[in-house]
Amino acid sequence: MIAFIDSRWADILFRAYQHTSLVVQSMILAAVIAVGLAVLVTTIRRLTPVANAVSAVGLTIPSFALLGLLLPVVGIGTVPSVVVVTFYAALPILRNAVVGLQGVDSTIIESARGQGMSGSAVFWRVRLPLSWPVIMTGIRVSAQMSMGVAAIAAYALGPGLGSYIYTGLTQVGGANAVNYAVVGTVGIIVLALLLDALLVLLSRFTTSRGIRA
Amino acid sequence: MRTTALSREDRLLLFGLPAVVLVVLAGWCLWRASADLGDIEARALAWDAVGQLALEHVLIVLVCAVLVVGCAVPLGILLTRARAGFLAPAVTAAANAGQAAPVIGVIVLLALAVGFGFWTAVLALTVYAFLPVLANTVAGLRGVDPAVIEAARGMGMSPFQVLRRVELPMALPVIMTGVRTALVLLVGAGAFATFIDAGGLGTLIQTGIIMFRHSILVSGALLVALLALLVEWTGRVMELFATPKGLA
């Protein structure tokens, strides 16, 4: 095992980097989409239950099935990985962003208006900062999930450590099968825990000072 | 069952889900009955072959669900008893680390360790779906108002009677939510059973990719997704019935 890791150290690091990069970039995309949608559905109240239903149903669609549905459309490689990870990453963020934005006391918004703030100033300086801790919780949930989804998406020749797991599977009986599968799986667990720790820190430093616990 | 007490989101899901599943399934059946398929597709998508795979998939999910509920609920009850409370932090830490493990990795590692086949798939998926039921059992039981438990004790109930007639009924909706989450996870992860020769609808997805036949691939993906939606809906209906009348 140690010899295996030693001889492939550069490749393992590169794949770990690819895995993280895929997850982080997809999550940034997902967060922007999800918060944008949340703003839309909390403004038009009739859409709120629809958005919640969509995020509940979306999470029930198995990632391997979504990958299968996408392959004929987008082909294999990095694109299906990005689409699948972004799709699942957006759902918990959307749900939490809706809850967070709805949780902002309407009297606070009213007093911000009363001080002469414009609509966008109210959003950037009042509603977003106040709902940020809830949104960050959603981002943490979706980060954990995205790490695993990215592993699954490697089946369609996507980037990242997931390919080590599939290599282990196809080389079953071979000398390195277990090594590949262990490095892939443990590597993803380590990355997920590291990313979660980073997000806790990020959440701490980006939360407005007035509402920090 | 009073549907008026439900939120609009619940009603959307309760009535919308089965409608979507029925329409898409009917569409797929129509396509399958009328499409002019090549030799390979026709064999892979023969009615009885697909039925057999669906049956295998459902069987894996059911066996795992019984195992998960049978192990996780008693463990959750144990962890919430005062005398076993010291165990709780260790179990929570282990469960959280386990949550970060990718399901495909768990399945492959177990298969490499104990061999391919149905029971390996069952073991891997049971481990994978354990956490939501355990977490919700603990959360549900912790959420029962201590004053209610005290009142029950004051009426002369034994600890076991309190558990069976007060705590469990009040925690049941939360536990059922965990069971529903676990069932849906199981349907999705069941698609990987085919990698370790345990069958299931994932076989169609894998065959479709290997043989480069989009019709097989999309059929498999669609059927897995429909099964997941159906299970989600069943879980929601069970949740409604599980809520004690006094709490609705």
Q: What residues of chain B lie within 8 A of the CB of A175, using their CB? A: none
**CB under 8 Å to A200, separation ≥6 — which residues?**
A140
A160 and B CB contact within 8 Å: no
Instruction: Please report the ipTM that was assigned to this predicted complex.
Output: 0.83
Q: What residues of chain A lie within 8 A of the CB of B9, using their CB? A: 49, 52-53, 56
Which tens digits make up the pLDDT trace of A63-100? 888 988 888 888 888 899 999 999 999 999 999 999 99
Which tens digits make up the pLDDT trace of B147-201? 999 999 999 999 899 999 999 999 998 999 999 989 999 999 999 999 898 889 9
A197 and B CB contact within 8 Å: no
Assign residue B73 the CATH number of its domain. 1.10.3720.10
Is A65 within 8 Å of B102 when comparing Cβ atoms? no
Residue B114 lies in a domain: yes
pLDDT at B93: 76
Among B14, B21, B108, the residue to mutate for chain A (most A Cβ within 10 A):
B108
Number of domains in chain B: 1
pLDDT at B2: 47
Type of residue at B34: S
- With beta carbons less than 8 A apart as the criterion, state whether B215 and A59 touch: no
CA distance, residue A121 to nearest chain B CA (Å): 31
Q: Among all chains, which residue has been given the structure tokens 């390195």? A: A176
Show the tokens assigned to B2.
């009073």
Instruction: State yes or no: pLDDT of B1 exceeds 50.
Output: no
pLDDT at B8: 79
| Distance from C-alpha of B210 to C-alpha of B129, rounded to nearest angstrom | 29
Which tens digits make up the pLDDT trace of B118-131? 999 999 999 888 88
pLDDT at A37: 94
Helices (H), strands (E): how many in chain B?
Answer: 11, 0
B197 is in which domain, residue-wise? 3-242
B205 and A CB contact within 8 Å: yes
Long-range contacts (CB closer than 8 Å, 24 or more residues apart) made by B95-100: B95/B130, B95/B131, B95/B134, B95/B135, B97/A189, B97/A193, B98/B127, B98/B130, B98/B131, B99/A144, B99/B131, B100/A144, B100/A147, B100/A148, B100/A188, B100/A189, B100/A192, B100/A193, B100/A196
Q: What residues of chain A lie within 8 A of the CB of B209, using their CB? A: 68, 71, 155-156
Task: Give Rg (Cα) of chain B.
Answer: 21
Closest CA to A71 of B53, B26, B219: B219
B5 confidence band (pLDDT: 50, 70, 90): low
Instruction: State yes or no: pLDDT of B17 exceeds 60.
Output: yes
- Minimal Cβ distance to B218: which of A69, A144, A152: A69
Phi/psi of residue A93, nearest 5 degrees: -65, -40
A14 is in which domain, residue-wise? 2-211
Instruction: State yes or no: pLDDT of B3 exceeds 70.
Output: no
Which tens digits make up the pLDDT trace of A171-188? 887 888 888 999 999 999
Instruction: State yes or no: pLDDT of A24 exceeds 80.
Output: yes
| B window 25-84, beta carbon within 8 A of A | none
Number of domains in chain A: 1
Q: What is the mean pLDDT of chain A?
A: 90
Residue B247 lies in a domain: no
Q: Among all chains, which residue has been given the structure tokens 């005062």? A: B82
